[in-house]
Amino acid sequence: MPEEVKVGIAEFKAKCARIVDDVEKRRIRVTVTRRGKPVARLVEIKPRKATSLYGAMAGTVTIHGDIVSPAEPDWNVLKD
C-alpha cells in the first residue's frame, strides 16, 4: 500500500513540481486539502502494458444490433 501524505493547497501550489516528482518516483499518494478538508488526490499513473498489437483493442467495441443485414430493408428505394 502506497504512503499517504496530506498537503495544504498553499503548500501544494508552492511545491507542485517537487510533489509530482515524489508521487512518480516514491509512488506515494498525496491528498490536497483546503481548510483541512480533502479536495483532490494525486496518484501515480501506471502505464498500460501492451504485449502485442494483435488483440490490443479486444473488448473495447460494442455491437448494437444486426451488422450483417442492410440498413434499409427495402432495396427498391435505391433503383432511382
Domain boundaries, the chain: 1-44
And the C-alpha cell for 33? 486539502
And the C-alpha cell for 78? 435505391
Across 26-32, average pLDDT = 92
And the C-alpha cell for 71? 440498413
CATH code for the part of the protein at 1-44 = 3.40.1620.10
Identify the band that residue 13 occupies on the pLDDT scale cut at 50, 70 and 90: very high
Q: What average pLDDT does the structure give for the chain? A: 82
Q: CA Rg, the chain, in Å? A: 25
Burial of 33 (0-12, 13-18, 19+ CB in 10 A): middle
Residue 71, pLDDT above cutoff 70: no
Q: Give pTM, 2 decimals.
A: 0.56
